[in-house]
């Protein structure tokens, strides 16, 4: 009797978890969702991300930005990856002004091809976005994030609403916080996510307003001189692609140096610098500047939340064969 009821207890537990999964949508995401359908999926992604990082270190940076631009806009559905092609009627989100500077999309195609070779039409592009962001974060010295998988790919671009979801570089902190709040990310999480600007670059178009005709008084004056050198006006060679690295000291490390720079008035974008002056966000900036472990914990928590914003699951959407195009019907 005792052993029998133990076994029934086990069965009941399985049924109960199934029931709970049916009742709450995003719990259809699971850790290692492809364990049976494609057991090597996560390992293949990890290896591809590592290989690409060795060849082009900034791919890891792109994977982090991709997660933000895909998941923030309505759903983590890989809509960001859709491209227009003659006759397919798609306006790509990549053409939005908010996507300015995004790069390395062609290497997502390489990751997908490696997966298709092993398990055709099984692993979604939306999960590639999530898992590559997880693995890229680790390669850049950031935290391990326990991402779940099981997302499906959307069949439409959200290009027409990108600007409603992704803030601009000069938006007010109140607007930025409300955007993140609408996807369930609080002020502390928002401050941590902007720490992604600890890596990568900013093109001069996003900096001119802070330098000319007069220097933004919230910008350190030596740093402003440096930035004017990176972004001269008038530009003696307008053909040249001009940008500044986000973090001159540890440009390829996802760490709390970003917050130390903000406290020293060396934030690059207006939104970055506002994190240090806005009374809601400033205390978190100070705490993150002082404690890299705390920054990493908050970054991991917020990235996880972002990665689970309104995913398609079950029989919604599809599994794209090529991340750039919806499957032909
Ligand atoms: C208020 C929110 C945000 C705004 C306004 C914003 C804006 C920008 C801008 C203007 C750039 C520079 C583009 C260029 O000139 O090339 C940039 C770069 C970047 N952003 Fe954000 N961003 C925001 C939040 C985030 C978040 C939440 C993440 C990720 C968690 C992120 C990740 C990145 C990365 C990694 C880069 C560097 C890309 C590269 O070097 O290729 N950003 N962002
Ligand atoms: C913000 O920057 C954009 C260009 O990226 C510019 O068109 C707009 O006028 C700026 N807004 C403010 C409030 O300065």
Asked whether residue 148 falls in the same domain as residue 192, the answer is no
Residue 177 lies in a domain: yes
Cα–Cα distance measured from residue 189 to residue 195, given in angstroms and rounded to the nearest whole number: 10
Ligand 2: list residues with CB < 6 Å: 168, 170
**Chosen domain end from 164, 199, 231:** 164
pLDDT of the residue at 86: 85
User: CATH number for the domain including 268?
Assistant: 1.10.420.10
pLDDT of 87 reads: 83
- Which pLDDT does position 329 carry in this prediction? 75
The reply, when asked if residue 70 is annotated as ligand binding, is: yes
Ligand that lies nearest to the alpha carbon of residue 167, given by its number in the listed order = 1
- The answer to whether 69 is a known catalytic residue is yes
Report d(CA 142, CA 67) in Å as an integer.
15
pLDDT at residue 123, rounded to an integer: 98
Residue 65 forms part of a structural domain: yes
In DSSP notation, 152-202 reads BB-SS--GGGHHHHSPPTT--HHHHHHHHHTTT--HHHHHHHHGGGGSSEE
Give pLDDT tens digits for 249-279.
899 999 999 999 999 999 999 999 999 999 9
Residue 4 pLDDT:
45
Residue among 96, 162, 166, 168 whose CB has most ligand 2 atoms within 8 A, to mutate? 168
Distance 252 CA to ligand 1 centre (A): 14
Task: Domain count for the chain, please give it.
Answer: 2
- The token pair at 31 is 């850790």
**pLDDT value of position 20:** 54
The one catalytic residue among 8, 69, 203, 261? 69
Same domain, 133 and 187: no
The domain containing residue 232 runs over which residues?
Answer: 173-305
On whether residue 259 sits in a domain, the answer given is: yes
- Residue 3: the pLDDT is 45
Q: Cα separation of 259 and 289, whole Å?
A: 5
pLDDT score for 1: 39
User: Do 118 and 180 belong together in one domain?
Assistant: no
Write the CATH number for 92: 1.10.520.10
Parts of the chain with a pLDDT under 50 = 1-6, 25
Phi, psi (deg, nearest 5) at residue 176? -60, -45
């Amino acid at each position: 009797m005792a052993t029998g009821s133990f076994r029934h207890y086990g069965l009941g537990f399985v049924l109960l978890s199934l029931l709970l999964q049916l009742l709450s949508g995003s719990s259809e995401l699971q850790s290692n969702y492809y364990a049976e359908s494609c057991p090597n999926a996560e390992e293949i992604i990890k290896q591809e991300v590592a290989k690409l990082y060795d060849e082009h270190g900034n791919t890891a940076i792109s994977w982090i930005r991709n997660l933000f631009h895909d998941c923030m806009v309505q759903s983590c559905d890989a809509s960001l990856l859709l491209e227009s092609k003659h006759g397919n009627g798609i306006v790509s989100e990549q053409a939005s002004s908010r996507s300015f500077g995004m790069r390395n999309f062609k290497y997502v195609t390489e990751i997908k091809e490696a997966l298709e070779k092993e398990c055709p039409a099984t692993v979604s592009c939306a999960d590639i976005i999530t898992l590559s962001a997880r693995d890229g974060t680790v390669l850049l010295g950031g935290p391990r994030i326990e991402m779940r998988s099981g997302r499906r790919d959307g069949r439409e671009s959200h290009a027409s609403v990108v600007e409603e979801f992704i803030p601009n570089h000069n938006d007010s902190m109140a607007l930025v916080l409300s955007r993140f709040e609408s996807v369930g990310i609080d002020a502390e999480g928002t401050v941590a996510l902007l720490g992604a600007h600890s890596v990568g670059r900013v093109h001069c178009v996003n900096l001119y307003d802070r330098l000319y005709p007069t220097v933004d008084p919230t910008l350190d004056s030596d740093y402003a001189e440096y930035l004017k050198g990176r972004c001269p006006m008038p530009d003696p060679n307008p053909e040249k692609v001009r940008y500044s690295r986000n973090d001159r000291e540890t440009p390829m490390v996802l760490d709390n140096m970003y917050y130390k720079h903000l406290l020293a008035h060396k934030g690059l974008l207006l939104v970055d610098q506002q994190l240090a002056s806005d009374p809601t966000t400033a205390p978190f900036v100070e705490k993150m500047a002082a404690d890299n472990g705390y920054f990493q914990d908050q970054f991991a928590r917020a990235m996880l939340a972002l990665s689970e914003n309104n995913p398609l699951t079950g029989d919604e959407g599809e599994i794209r064969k090529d991340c750039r195009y919806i499957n032909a019907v």
